[in-house]
């Protein structure tokens, strides 16, 4: 049984960091999304989690560009029901799913040529 938070069914973990895990999820329409889940059960880390969450939401709300990941939903107080039935208090950000992995992985593996760098930089403008 997969884990669930609100209307999102979470399947596999796409990545993890200090304050959150990013999971592949589907919404009620069957659309795949990426959901960044912040665990609020660690009280010593809770204020940092909320600060990070609010900052990310502000950044996403102020950016509207076809080459940027879109913010679809967020919630500061939710319950994650894990696959074993355990419930955890969380906050989350739902973003559009961009398949293919992280940009960092492409940059870290090898250096881009000048031509390729110009191509990607022009797309960002």
Domain spans of the chain, in order of start: 3-99
Residue pLDDT, tens place only, 75-86:
988 999 998 989
Whether residue 115 is predicted with pLDDT greater than 80 in this model: the reply is: yes
pLDDT given for residue 99 in this prediction: 82
Alpha-carbon gap, residue 118 to 121, rounded angstroms:
5
* Residue 80 · residue 4 · CB < 8 Å: yes
CB count in 10 Å sphere of residue 21? 18
Closest CA to 96 of 69, 123, 78, 119: 69
CB count in 10 Å sphere of residue 31? 11
Split at pLDDT 50, 70, 90, the class of 45 is low
* Mean pLDDT value across residues 49-70: 81
The contacts of residue 24 (CB under 8 Å, 6+ apart) are 10, 11, 12, 13, 14, 32, 33, 34, 97
Q: Which residue has the tokens 């889940």?
A: 37
Closest CA to 17 of 93, 82, 100, 78: 93
Residues listed for the chain: 125
Statement: the pTM of the whole predicted model exceeds 0.85: no
CATH for 3-99 (3.30.200.20, 3.40.630.40, 3.30.70.1710, 3.40.190.10): 3.30.200.20
């Amino acid at each position: 049984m997969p884990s669930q938070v609100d209307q999102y069914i979470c399947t596999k973990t796409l990545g993890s960091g200090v304050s959150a895990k990013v999971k592949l999820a589907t919404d009620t329409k069957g659309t795949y999304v990426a959901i960044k889940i912040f665990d609020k059960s660690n009280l010593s880390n809770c204020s940092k989690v909320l600060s990070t969450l609010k900052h990310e939401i502000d950044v996403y709300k102020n950016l509207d560009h076809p080459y940027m990941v879109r913010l679809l939903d967020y919630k500061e107080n939710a319950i994650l029901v894990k696959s074993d039935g355990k419930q955890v208090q969380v906050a989350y950000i739902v973003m559009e799913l961009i398949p293919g992995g992280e940009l960092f992985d492409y940059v870290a593996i090898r250096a881009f040529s000048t031509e390729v760098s110009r191509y990607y930089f022009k797309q960002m403008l």
